[in-house]
């Protein structure tokens, strides 16, 4: 097996999600920006699409989403695409949540949004009914001066979770089911 880079010519190298259309493997969607809000992370500049197996790429929007964690493509129609956008790691923003395109990324509609501090961390289409989308949202932001301490460096002397013991607020997660989102 030989590996060949196909995205190196783009202006961003931070990747959060890659999805290949099940009905047409020449169509690839890439969401930029790391989805793990750790101490050292880089942001992205939206979603890219290739219709020729990765030979050429076009930025198709959601540039302010900064961190895209997952992309789901309808198994029968590669123009129907869902994007889970985390938003900025360092502050509130409107381009968070679940976005849908029914025209291959030419336009986007926000279909699930909780608030400007809560992003979408995961999505999947129901394999038995791709008109049902499962999504998970998370309120997770990083103050620019913070750092996650490795658990091995902190002694555990109580029954409190490790993150609370260090004074770091644990992210809250909401799991939602969007029925008939497609």
- Residue 31 scores a pLDDT above 90: yes
CB under 8 A, 24+ apart: contacts of 140-148? 140/37, 140/86, 140/89, 140/171, 141/37, 141/88, 141/89, 141/90, 141/91, 141/92, 141/117, 142/37, 142/41, 142/89, 142/90, 143/90, 144/90, 146/39, 147/39, 148/38, 148/39
Segment 5-33 shows an average pLDDT of 95
Residues facing residue 129 across a β-bridge: 126
Confidence tier at 90 by pLDDT (50, 70, 90): confident
Segment 1-21 shows an average pLDDT of 93
Which contiguous run of DSSP H or E holds residue 82? strand 81-85
pLDDT given for residue 128 in this prediction: 87
Q: Which residue has the higher pLDDT, 40 or 30?
A: 30
Q: Are 73 and 102 within 8 A, CB to CB? A: no
Beta-carbon count within 10 A of 122 CB? 17
The secondary structure of 135-171 as a DSSP string is EEEEE----TT--PPPGGGS---SSS-HHHHTTPPPP
**What's the whole-model pTM score?**
0.79
Q: What is the pLDDT of residues 111-160, one digit of tens each?
A: 999 999 999 999 999 988 989 999 999 987 777 666 555 444 344 444 54
pLDDT given for residue 91 in this prediction: 87
pLDDT given for residue 87 in this prediction: 92
Q: Which single residue is written with the structure tokens 């509130």? A: 92
Q: What is the pLDDT of residues 32-79, one digit of tens each?
A: 999 887 767 889 999 999 999 999 999 999 999 999 999 999 999 999
- Residue 166 scores a pLDDT above 50: no
pLDDT given for residue 62 in this prediction: 97
């Amino acid at each position: 097996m030989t590996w060949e880079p196909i995205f190196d010519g783009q202006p961003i190298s931070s990747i959060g999600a890659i999805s290949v259309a099940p009905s047409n493997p020449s169509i690839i969607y890439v969401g930029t920006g790391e989805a793990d809000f750790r101490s050292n992370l880089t942001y992205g500049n939206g979603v890219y699409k290739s219709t020729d197996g990765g030979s050429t790429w076009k930025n198709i929007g959601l540039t302010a989403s900064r961190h895209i964690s997952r992309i789901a493509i309808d198994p029968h129609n590669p123009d129907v695409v869902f994007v889970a956008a985390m938003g900025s790691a360092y502050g509130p923003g409107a381009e968070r949540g679940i976005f849908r395109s029914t025209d291959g990324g030419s336009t986007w509609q926000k279909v699930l949004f909780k608030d400007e501090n809560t992003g979408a961390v995961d999505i999947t289409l129901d394999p038995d009914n791709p008109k049902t989308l499962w999504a998970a949202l998370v309120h997770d932001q990083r103050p620019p001066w913070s750092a996650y301490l490795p658990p091995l460096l902190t002694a555990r002397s109580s029954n409190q979770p490790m993150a609370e013991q260090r004074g770091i607020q644990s992210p809250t997660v909401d799991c939602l089911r969007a029925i008939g989102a497609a």
